[in-house]
Structure 1
Amino acid sequence: MSPRWRLSLIGMGMGSPAHLTLQGEQALRRVDLLLLPDKGEDKAELAAARLRLLQTVRPDFDAEAGGGPRVARYAVPSREGADAADTPRYLDAVRRWHDALARAWTQALREHLPQGGQAGVLIWGDPALFDSSMRIAQRVARELPLEWEVVPGISALQALAAAHAVPLNELASPVLITSGRWLRQHGCPADVPALAVMLDGGTAFEALPDPYAWHIWWGAYLGLPQQTLDSGPLPQAGPRIARARAALRQAHGWMLDIYLLKRRGADDC
């Protein structure tokens, strides 16, 4: 009988064990193999957070003695060309990156679960929101007899709103969820009262033409011991956030942050 594989994409929240849902915990208890992304020494803390979560849920896990689920590390390829300014080149670069990751997952499954079995990937935040894991799983399923599932997790948006005790949207008003790249290229539509910005490699909020119109809520390393928050009118809070980002990146070697912008004067009552 030919081997068959199952794969769970498990939303893990922001790295804190308290963020893992009961469904996520149950899924993690089933895995025979955890696929662990290796993003290099600068971001070793990201892999360590995943291993701590595995150890919390699976006390039988022992990396040195080989007890419990196995761990397959795979190198995360660089996204060459993903900083291209024009959208077609950017999309082409991201698709090539997805292809490379799918090859890494496929190789890990074949090598570490040659007879098939249950594997899992711990996805930062929620797999459905600004994450590539489902697209990668679709590619793997074209190469292997693979069944895969998605286990939702607490997203960075939820963690940010909770940390600041602020609703994402105003009454009867929408919120735009976008990326820093999109905000830099397109700005904020005039009819959007609130926007949440993810995957901003810098400070795209500095490109807004009228900073006095906005209030910002920002959070970095949400749910982790080094969690850092700031908020306030954009002209005052923006420079503080830019300085904090630079200092924190220097201190930790990596940055995961998100922010919410709302037009000032909106009344949610």
Structure 2
Amino acid sequence: MAEAVVDPVVRPVATRRVVVVGIGMGPQHVTPEASAAIGSVDVVLAFVKSTGDPLLEVRREICARHDVELVVLEDPPRARHDDVDYEAAVEAWHAARTDAWEVALAEHPGDVGLLVWGDPGLYDSTLRLLDRLQDRVRLAVEVVPGISSLQLLAARHRLVLHEVGAPLHVTTARRLPEALAAGERNVVVVLTRRLELLGTEPDVTGWSIWWGANLGAPGEQLVAGRVADVLDDVAAARERARALDGWVLDLYLLRAP
């Protein structure tokens, strides 16, 4: 008589809670909602870009204030040369970061926090990477908004980013020429790498610019005026921000007359 076949026990796959928290530019921008979210996790994961990374130190301070363990992961290298395919380089970098998170989740049980500069919904890929990770790990993702660089820029310059009934176009410095060619006349530019473009685009030299760097940090810098008149001031202020904080994150509003 054949023995009965016993089905193996199927154990449910545990769902990992991951909380993505916008922290603005540091502890001073951590809202009560964000504070509660950080305090609710068991561990925070953070990538480190280099030895003495000042952005990591801000995350470390926030974790210390909330008595939460910080686990530091080496940030995979990303190709940044001008002749590198940008999309391909970012894709490879994202894939490597996703792999690192998968390993870290396996090594650190419990609820996990990810602290995002500014707001998770604006020019940050954390949520995209978690979507990729969902194919391998069952996740329950929560998102807490943060104070964005756009909000800080508007507040520091005491302005409304759009004119009455008019649109606001938000893009990167790399795609600014495309926006100008399409006729955009009120543009916020983020992820600034070079300022030379503003001096070589004759159509924008007479436009107004409201620029800011490291908003909310000790090295915060602000410049406003006609593009042709303030480009040198912006370049100098950018270097001051780097000298004071060790890094630069800047953006600006560009508006036609």
The answer, yes or no, to whether TM exceeds 0.5 is yes
Structure 1: runs of 5 or more not aligned? 62-68, 265-269
Percent identity of the aligned residues? 36
Give the AA of the match of 1:32. D
Structure 2 Cα separation of the partners of residues 170 and 55 of structure 1: 42
Task: Give the aligned partner of residue 186 of structure 2.
Answer: 194
1:5 maps to which of 5, 16, 36:
16
1:39 maps to which of 27, 32, 49:
49
For residue 150 of structure 1, report the CA deviation from its aligned partner. Answer: 1.6
Give the AA of the match of 1:104. A
2:62 maps to which of 45, 53, 77:
53
TM-score normalised by structure 1 residue count: 0.84
For residue 105 of structure 1, report the CA deviation from its aligned partner. Answer: 1.1
Indicate the RMSD between aligned Cα atoms, in angstroms. 1.9
Structure 2: runs of 5 or more not aligned? 1-10
Contact 1:173/1:193 (<8 A) preserved: no
Give the AA of the match of 1:12. I
Give the AA of the match of 2:86. Y
For residue 243 of structure 1, report the CA deviation from its aligned partner. Answer: 2.3
Structure 1 Cα separation of the partners of residues 152 and 81 of structure 2: 27
Task: Give the aligned partner of residue 217 of structure 1.
Answer: 210
Post-superposition Cα deviations, 1:147-192, rounded to whole Å, max 9, x if no partner, equal: 1122111110001100111110011111110001111x52514632
- Secondary structure of 2:150's aligned partner: helix
2:89 maps to which of 70, 93, 101:
93
For residue 9 of structure 1, report the CA deviation from its aligned partner. Answer: 1.0
Give the AA of the match of 1:4. T
Which is greater in Rg? Answer: 2
Give the AA of the match of 1:195. V
Q: 1:248 to 1:19 in 2, by over 3 A?
A: closer
Post-superposition Cα deviations, 1:112-137, rounded to whole Å, max 9, x if no partner, equal: 22xxx210110001111111101111
Q: 1:122 to 1:192 in 2, by over 3 A?
A: same
For residue 251 of structure 1, report the CA deviation from its aligned partner. Answer: 5.0
For residue 252 of structure 1, report the CA deviation from its aligned partner. Answer: 3.9
Structure 1 Cα separation of the partners of residues 83 and 166 of structure 2: 33
Structure 1 Cα separation of the partners of residues 200 and 117 of structure 2: 28
Structure 1 Cα separation of the partners of residues 157 and 244 of structure 2: 24
Question: 2:75 aligned with 1:76, yes or no?
Answer: yes
Give the AA of the match of 2:222. L
Contact 2:54/2:246 (<8 A) preserved: no
Question: 2:121 aligned with 1:128, yes or no?
Answer: yes
TM-score normalised by structure 2 residue count: 0.88
Q: 1:205 to 1:55 in 2, by over 3 A?
A: farther
Question: 2:34 aligned with 1:24, yes or no?
Answer: yes
Structure 2 Cα separation of the partners of residues 227 and 25 of structure 1: 24
Structure 2 Cα separation of the partners of residues 54 and 81 of structure 1: 30
